[in-house]
Amino acid sequence: MLTLRSSPASPFGRKIKIAAAVLGLTDRITVVATDTTDPQDSIRRENPLGKIPTLILEDGTTLFDSRVIAEYLDMLAGGGIIIPAGMARFPQLRLQALADGIGDAALLQVYETRFREEEHRNAAWVENQAGKAARGLAALEAAPPAFDDKPRIGEIALACTLGYLDLRFDGSWRSGHPALVAWLDAFAAKVPAFEATRFKG
Amino acid sequence: MLTLRSSPASPFGRKIKIAAAVLGLTDRITVVATDTTDPQDSIRRENPLGKIPTLILEDGTTLFDSRVIAEYLDMLAGGGIIIPAGMARFPQLRLQALADGIGDAALLQVYETRFREEEHRNAAWVENQAGKAARGLAALEAAPPAFDDKPRIGEIALACTLGYLDLRFDGSWRSGHPALVAWLDAFAAKVPAFEATRFKG
């Protein structure tokens, strides 16, 4: 049995849960809730960075971050499934990097509010992060990624990032991005794990 | 010719320069200096996240982030060279994620000082980032990664992160980590590109 250290609201943890479902590996993974803010949580021994998701293998070896875990699960399932082989990898890896980057920029905006009193917040910093997310969404809106029935890692990452924007920014991205809204609806219809992993906090 | 958007002090850009040198691809890449803080710099069109390194292919396609670029260059050089094939990938990818994560934590500490006046800095945030870096370095000090003559992506990433700590934190990591200091000396002796890419700002 593999152990996934994650938390229900983490977009990067959700990426792994959906990847596992698409790869037919859900039954081989136990998800263990993790509090990264608790110094006593074993996550800081399992992953010195103290970050989720972290995967613990049967021999105790740990793997992180989400991109490495996704690649490991893909290989465990036979390889080339959610991460294509050869040059076809790169459009997916680029899309994953873009989606994860939008997610990181969103997360940093959330942290600014969560960890700093209003008078200590830095508008230029927040604006800089918001700009990354806005440009990323605009690029994706102009050309939403095509995919057939089986999603790959870039598409899974994008769905999780959009889900995170819904969760933390009240879906405010939706009004300006109708093509991405349609894209996410199509993704959710094809990939039941998307709805199944939604955080209902 | 490939174009690498980077800047001389970027640890992640340095990772790509060293990877290219190890792979024998340096002559195929033109490095173009990038100011990520300048809204007029074309980097925000090449990479919506506005981040370096970004690689521009001959057909205008762009690739990012550094992990994706490293994998692309490895494949261009024949594959399996700095990123091993099969299950041997994962120790290298994990090491890269750990080294990059220490670098990210260091970068966020630098940004806290660079972009915020002293009274707006958040000690708990800085301490949290410093803790990630400290635990990461302690884990690596306890078991520095073994490598033969040819470095792989995890080792290259670690060398770049330690170089960044030298640059921005005045080498303060060195006193508590003698095994890592010896490791970095051995890396520098085997990989001339490390010294050749040092930022002398």
In a domain, B185, yes or no: yes
pLDDT at B201 > cutoff 90: no
In a domain, A200, yes or no: no
What does chain B come to in residues? 201
pLDDT of residue B157: 98
pLDDT at B122 > cutoff 90: no
pLDDT of residue B114: 84
Query: Do B72 and B91 have their domain in common?
Result: no
Q: Residue A71 in contact with residue A30, Cβ under 8 Å?
A: no
In a domain, B81, yes or no: no
pLDDT per position as a tens digit, B20-66: 999 999 999 999 999 999 999 999 999 999 999 999 999 999 999 99
CB contact under 8 A, B101 and A44: no
pLDDT per position as a tens digit, B162-175: 999 999 999 999 99
In a domain, A199, yes or no: no
Gap between the Cα atoms of A17 and A8, Å rounded: 10
Closest C-alpha among A57, A36, A102, A11 to residue B64? A102
Gap between the Cα atoms of B83 and B88, Å rounded: 8
DSSP class of residue B200 equals -
In a domain, A198, yes or no: no
pLDDT of residue B76: 97
B93 vs A contacts (CB less than 8 Å): 63, 67-68, 71
The backbone torsions φ and ψ at residue A9, rounded to the nearest 5 degrees and listed phi first, read -95, -5
Q: Chain A residues with CB-CB distance to B under 8 A?
A: 44, 48-51, 62-65, 67-68, 71-72, 75, 86-87, 89-90, 93-94, 97-98, 101-102, 105, 111, 115-116, 119-120, 122, 124-125, 131-132, 135-136, 138-139
Query: Do B101 and B159 have their domain in common?
Result: yes
Please report which confidence band the pLDDT of residue A17 belongs to, taking 50, 70 and 90 as the band edges.
Answer: very high
CB contact under 8 A, A116 and B97: no
Option in B44, B68, B122 nearest A94 (CB): B68
Please report which confidence band the pLDDT of residue A91 belongs to, taking 50, 70 and 90 as the band edges.
Answer: very high
Option in B51, B93, B139 nearest A48 (CB): B139
Residue of B nearest to A139 (CA): B48
Measure A45 CA to nearest chain B CA, in Å. Answer: 9
Q: What is the mean pLDDT of residues B93-110?
A: 95
pLDDT of residue A11: 96
- Cα A189 to chain centroid, rounded: 18
Q: In what order do the strands lie in the sheet with B2-6?
A: B29-33, B2-6, B54-56, B62-63
A53 bridge partner residues: none
Measure B68 CA to nearest chain A CA, in Å. Answer: 6
Q: Residue A64 in contact with residue A6, Cβ under 8 Å?
A: no
Structure tokens at B153: 């992506």
Query: Do B47 and B109 have their domain in common?
Result: no
Q: Which CATH number goes with the domain that contains B62?
A: 3.40.30.10
Query: Do A103 and A159 have their domain in common?
Result: yes
- Cα B123 to chain centroid, rounded: 26
> What pTM does this model have?
0.96
Query: Do A71 and A121 have their domain in common?
Result: no
CB contact under 8 A, A68 and B102: no
- Burial of B114 by CB count in 10 Å (0-12 exposed, 13-18 middle, 19+ buried)? exposed
Closest C-alpha among A96, A86, A198 to residue A147? A96
Query: Do B95 and B142 have their domain in common?
Result: yes
Query: Do B165 and B107 have their domain in common?
Result: yes
Query: Do A118 and A174 have their domain in common?
Result: yes
pLDDT per position as a tens digit, A144-162: 999 878 899 999 999 999 9
Q: Which residues, in sequence order, are CB contacts of A79 under 8 Å at separation 6+?
A: A85
Query: Do A91 and A177 have their domain in common?
Result: yes
Please report which confidence band the pLDDT of residue B176 belongs to, taking 50, 70 and 90 as the band edges.
Answer: very high
Q: Which CATH number goes with the domain that contains B175?
A: 1.20.1050.10
Residue of B nearest to A50 (CA): B132
In a domain, A201, yes or no: no
Q: Which of B42, B76, B110 is the last residue of a domain?
A: B76
Q: Provide the total of helices (H) and of strands (E) in chain B, helices listed first.
A: 8, 4
In a domain, A133, yes or no: yes
pLDDT of residue B133: 96
Q: What percent of chain B has pLDDT over 90?
A: 86
Q: Which of A55, A76, A97 is the last residue of a domain?
A: A76
pLDDT at A50 > cutoff 90: yes
Query: Do A90 and A187 have their domain in common?
Result: yes
pLDDT at A54 > cutoff 80: yes
Query: Do B68 and B104 have their domain in common?
Result: no
Q: Which of B30, B53, B76 is the last residue of a domain?
A: B76
In a domain, A135, yes or no: yes
ipTM > 0.85, yes or no: yes
Instruction: Quote the domain boundaries for residue B40.
Output: 2-76
Structure tokens at B199: 């930022």
Q: What percent of chain B has pLDDT over 70?
A: 100
pLDDT at B126 > cutoff 90: no
- Burial of B118 by CB count in 10 Å (0-12 exposed, 13-18 middle, 19+ buried)? exposed
B77 vs A contacts (CB less than 8 Å): none
Please report which confidence band the pLDDT of residue B160 belongs to, taking 50, 70 and 90 as the band edges.
Answer: very high
Amino acid (1-letter code) at residue B147: F
Compare A120 and B16 and report the one with higher pLDDT: B16
Structure tokens at A122: 């830095």
Query: Do B150 and B113 have their domain in common?
Result: yes
* Overall domain count for chain A: 2
Range name among A98-102, B78-82, B109-113, B165-169 with the lowest pLDDT average: B109-113
Calculate ∠ Cα B4-B8-B9, nearest 5°: 125
